[in-house]
Structure 1
Amino acid sequence: MSTESGLLEPAPRFWDLLAAEWIKLWSLRSIPWFVLLSALAAVGVNANAARAARAHWHSGPPPFTAHGALQEAFSRPAAAWVLLAMGAVGAIAILSEQTTGLLRTTFCAVPARREVMAAKVLVVTAVAAVFGVLTVAASVWCDAAILYGRYTGVPLTDAVALRITAASAVLAPLGALIGLGLGAVIRHSVATMVTLFLLAFILPVSITDRTHLSATLTHALPFNAWYRLTLPIAILHAPYPSTIPGAWLTFAAWAAAPALLVLLTVPRRDQ
């Protein structure tokens, strides 16, 4: 772009794009309150699960006793809520600009569209990752306090404990990327949220694993992959059980696919 003196303005650095995306995300008035209330809701649901476990406690065979407290710290309703809430944040990050025309203005100011979208992906992922880490840390602390004396303690450096906490923390940025990708492709708020609700709540309880095809579809869902990663023991009696490497691969696929959709589809469209 030329200035009055005829000189060319320097191209924006990627750090500037990151700062701009950070400002645009947090300038949405609902985002700070929604993120805070979502974290409190997730921690509260997990704490209630720990309270119920303490009230109905009974000794179980290892390794359930050793990892029982951690398993109670990340309940399935809270996980589904985190997936949906962070998916909503990711969707809002792109839909708010598409519906208001701000994205068109951004592309006029910065013609490097793919770099702009890469900055948006990184900012949304970083915000959701911090959300996931803090939510997991608060849930573990509350769970340990509520279940104190009921379960055998286990350090977070333990392999199974590390897998459970890591999978639960990664679920938040995974949901944000899924929401960002769906919002970029669908470009409609209601349809995007309905799709997120199907992924987080409806499909995981609607598809069984009794046949090979249905088991494949079930294992390919992000929520079911998270649930497999949080199980401390192997699945023995299912006809088509999922595996730990397969669950991590599902996580990786659901993270990579939305990011690629955002980088490849949004810059090619007229906004």
Structure 2
Amino acid sequence: MSAPAATGPRRDAGRVRFGHVLSSEWTKIATVRSTFWTLLAGAVVLVGFSALWALAFTASFDQMSARDRATFTPMLPTQVAYYFGLVIFGALGVLVITAEHGTGMIKTALTAVPRRAAYLAAKTVVLGAVVLVFGIVVTFASFYAAQGILASKHLDGNIGDPGVLRAIVGGGIYLALVAILALGIGTLLRHTAGSIVLLFVVLFVLGIAGGFLPSSWGDTVNKFLPSNAGGAILDPVHKSGSLAPWTGLGVFAVYTAVVLAAAVILFERRDA
């Protein structure tokens, strides 16, 4: 009696399902100590600086000009605090990829997951989800920390005020996009310090430089610069000279997508 014919290999043999890659990336980000400490540092900075700036505003409100008083919103202390917190959450995005390059673990990871685009996509999804949820929670905490202090001068607001809830939820989305942008930069440069410096330039130096552009066309360019566009989501009231909140966040999302697409292309083509 002849032996049964051998069947060909299954089409998915040796392939790793995307769900498994997601699970692996979640395990990495949840168990690495740097994740905990970076998120904690981001929370302390955002909440702490929101409270600190609320104290500064209450102490100096009587000396403010009429124009500054008219533009003050209860969200302003948290908006200022965001400038200090963005780089910290961005550093997490950088470390998610550069730490693996630094230790050589990237080679082992890519041996287990040869599809590099899927590997980077899983990192992006997990990082974005973690920072989004954490960012919204921390932004809520920052807002309420500031309101408790602003109440002493009756400058406080509440979550039901126009634009406040949108600013808080949008702030969490903004942080997630910053972390993903940083992941893309880290993938491109593969060096922690260099990536964080470049992120700092993108988020802050470009915005400062934009302020020195000639007013004839500088005002138009300035509002499309990354930090100015993304930061528009934090303002409860649409201010003249800036993009509409969701439009600005959308522009920042486009910047993030372009950097991430470039990172995927380069990640696919060069050696680990």
Q: Does structure 1 residue 161 correspond to structure 2 residue 169?
A: no
SS at match of 1:225: helix
Cα distance change, pair 234–23 in 1 and its aligned pair in 2 (3 A):
closer
In the TM superposition, 1:1-271 aligns within 5 A as 11-58=15-62, 68-75=73-80, 78-148=81-151, 150-151=153-154, 154-208=157-211, 210-236=214-240, 241-244=241-244, 246-271=247-272
Native 8 Å contact 1:183 1:192 kept in 2: yes
C-alpha separation in 1, matches of 2:179 and 2:220: 24
The farther-off stretch of 252-261 and 112-121 is 252-261
Match in the other structure for 1:3: none
Native 8 Å contact 2:187 2:267 kept in 1: yes
Q: Say which structure, 1 or 2, has more relative contact order (CA 8 Å, 6+ apart).
A: 1
Residue segments in structure 2 that go unaligned for 5+ positions in a row:
1-7
Counting aligned pairs with the same residue, the percent is 28
C-alpha separation in 2, matches of 1:137 and 1:171: 14
C-alpha separation in 2, matches of 1:181 and 1:175: 10
Q: Offset of 1:192 from its aligned partner?
A: 1.1
The farther-off stretch of 114-123 and 165-174 is 165-174
Supply the AA of the counterpart residue of 1:50. A
Match in the other structure for 2:3: none
C-alpha separation in 2, matches of 1:48 and 1:235: 24
Q: Offset of 1:158 from its aligned partner?
A: 4.2
C-alpha separation in 2, matches of 1:135 and 1:258: 26
Native 8 Å contact 1:121 1:259 kept in 2: no
TM-score using structure 1 length: 0.82
Native 8 Å contact 1:184 1:262 kept in 2: yes
Q: Offset of 1:163 from its aligned partner?
A: 3.1
What are the superposed Cα offsets for residues 167-210 of structure 1, whole Å, 9 maximum, x if unpaired? 32222112101110111112222221211121233222232154
What are the superposed Cα offsets for residues 108-165 of structure 1, whole Å, 9 maximum, x if unpaired? 1122222111110011111211231121011112112112253466443444213322
Residue segments in structure 1 that go unaligned for 5+ positions in a row:
1-5
Native 8 Å contact 2:231 2:249 kept in 1: no
TM-score using structure 2 length: 0.82
Supply the AA of the counterpart residue of 1:248. L
Native 8 Å contact 1:91 1:179 kept in 2: yes
Q: Offset of 1:67 from its aligned partner?
A: 7.1
Q: Offset of 1:41 from its aligned partner?
A: 1.5
Native 8 Å contact 2:167 2:233 kept in 1: yes
C-alpha separation in 2, matches of 1:210 and 1:230: 26
Count of residue pairs brought into register by the alignment: 260
C-alpha separation in 2, matches of 1:152 and 1:54: 8
Q: Offset of 1:250 from its aligned partner?
A: 1.7
